[in-house]
Structure 1
Amino acid sequence: MTGPTDARAGLRQALIHEWIKFRSVRSLVRPTLATAVVPVLGAVFVARTGSLRPDDTVLGAALTLSVTAQMLAAVVGALVITGEYGSGTIRTTFVATPRRGTVLAAKAVLLAGLTCTVALISCTLAYLVEDMMLDDDTYAQGDPFPALLGVALSFAVAALLGLAVGTLVRHSAGAVTAVVGVLLLPSLLGPLFGDAQRWVAGLSPTAALQKLTQTSDATAETVGSLGPWPSLLLVGAYTTALLLLAALKLRKRDA
């Protein structure tokens, strides 16, 4: 019978294994780098082209491409596990760490920590670049803190959602399609639900992100009527539930 110390040791070792695998797989490293670069490029583009609207904030303009970056984070989350199913290395992973729940937990911890850190640095840099390039007081600043922390957390939630979907689907193309659909479809299908549109539209990490960036496009009809932090909490709650379901399925299914 193993105790808490054994469980901690197992998770720590699994984390080391997951980090070694992650940094050695180009299909994971490249989109992660893109996740970091895209928000900054978006900030430079918006400032250079002067494409801000009068009611835009500097923060909202700086994070114009943050939705694209968040999608990349979700794709990385899915590929972290579907890539192993596709190559067959998942069997080796389960031999090295027989507790499948520990494997999933290690992937989740690595993804959440890495994605949140990358997003926080990238989006903060994008805001600072935008603020520096817009050298007048025409536009309101917005409230960057703690909003930028929430933005980083929304990236982590998107990555974990991708991991959950990838664990359930086990096929890269299917998982990527499904998780991108989860991110985009609520706002696209919201108008079909009449009076419930404001709730349906807010059921994705993308909606929470747009509220946190304080973009002028974040109307109740497009991203739901909940505030930014309650929206992030709601998305985090169902992502957690989906991860628990994925862990249950992972234990019961063959590799």
Structure 2
Amino acid sequence: MRAALAHEWIKFRSVRSTVWTAVVMAVLPVPGAVFVAATESLQPDDTVLGGALTLSVPAMMLAAVVGALVMSGEYSSGTIRTTFAATPRRRTVLGAKAVLVAGGLYLLALPSVSCAYLVGGALLGDGYAHGDPMPALLGVAGAFSVAGLLGLAVGTLVRHSAGAVTTVLGVLLLPSLFGPLFGDAQRWVAGISPTAALEKLTQTSDATAEAVGSLAAWPSLALVGGYTVLLLLAADTALGRRDA
């Protein structure tokens, strides 16, 4: 596993698409906090935490894209054959990628969202409720890691970069977009989305029970983590049965 992790780190930092996507993901939340403060667009019933992390949802989508590209990019370039030749145990390869994605995204996301909250608090002043940043910020960073693992699972199953990115973005966006079409079931449909868990963790006023379900923030994140683990298990099974 140690050698596999070293290989995956070299590949990750050698591919521009994953590096730049991760960089943009890490940078995005802070300008969002500045924009909300500059435009004075924070609603009176919202919190500084929710306003400062306005761009955390698109940032989390980029985290999912990073996870998808880590595996699907190797299939698209054909380097997956070399990877499996160097590490014949495919489960080890998937495990190393999962550790790299989850750990790397968490280490990038936690300082990013923390800085966004501090900047938002400094610029917005005392006219708004600040919310409870801890341990919520830890959960927000964890949501980025979960989204990355979800992308990794989808990338392993789809094995095509464009298809994997489209699929994982659909998983993140479609429940919220189509939830209102299901009437009273909206809270159940939209509530299963990773974006719903993120909105609850950021304590935004948009995260109402009618829109994103009545589950609390941490149980909602646990639900998303649960089906992400199941999807990773399905990806592991498919990886072992398919040819490279």
Q: TM-score, normalised by structure 2?
A: 0.98
Q: Match for 1:17 among 7, 21, 26?
A: 7
Q: Match for 2:194 among 192, 200, 205?
A: 205
Q: Aligned pair count? A: 244
What does 1:1-255 align with in structure 2 at a 5 Å threshold? Answer: 11-135=1-125, 137-255=126-244
Between the aligned partners of 2:180 and 2:77, the Cα distance in structure 1 is 41
CA contact under 8 A between 2:186 and 2:212: conserved in structure 1? no
Between the aligned partners of 1:134 and 1:190, the Cα distance in structure 2 is 32
Between the aligned partners of 1:33 and 1:106, the Cα distance in structure 2 is 21
The residue aligned with 1:5 is none
User: Offset at 1:198?
Assistant: 1.1
5+ long unaligned stretches in structure 1 = 1-10
Between the aligned partners of 2:185 and 2:215, the Cα distance in structure 1 is 12
SS in 2 for 1:83: helix
5+ long unaligned stretches in structure 2 = none
Between the aligned partners of 1:227 and 1:72, the Cα distance in structure 2 is 24
Between the aligned partners of 1:26 and 1:237, the Cα distance in structure 2 is 31
Q: Which amino acid aligns with 1:246?
A: A
The residue aligned with 1:4 is none
Between the aligned partners of 1:26 and 1:253, the Cα distance in structure 2 is 28
SS in 1 for 2:135: helix
What per-residue deviation string (whole Å, max 9, x for no partner) do you get for residues 124-172 of structure 1? 000001111123x210000000000000000000000000000000011
Q: TM-score, normalised by structure 1?
A: 0.94
What per-residue deviation string (whole Å, max 9, x for no partner) do you get for residues 31-58 of structure 1? 1000111001101111111111101111
CA contact under 8 A between 1:39 and 1:123: conserved in structure 2? yes
Between the aligned partners of 1:222 and 1:179, the Cα distance in structure 2 is 21
CA contact under 8 A between 1:39 and 1:65: conserved in structure 2? yes
User: Offset at 1:196?
Assistant: 2.1
CA contact under 8 A between 2:197 and 2:217: conserved in structure 1? yes
Between the aligned partners of 2:57 and 2:230, the Cα distance in structure 1 is 23
The residue aligned with 1:8 is none
CA contact under 8 A between 1:201 and 1:221: conserved in structure 2? no
CA contact under 8 A between 1:43 and 1:130: conserved in structure 2? yes
User: Offset at 1:194?
Assistant: 2.9
Query: Pairwise CA RMSD of aligned residues?
Result: 0.8
User: Offset at 1:192?
Assistant: 2.6
Q: Which amino acid aligns with 2:117?
A: Y
SS in 2 for 1:18: helix
Between the aligned partners of 1:195 and 1:202, the Cα distance in structure 2 is 12
Where do 4+ consecutive residues of structure 1 move more than 4 Å?
none
User: Offset at 1:191?
Assistant: 2.1
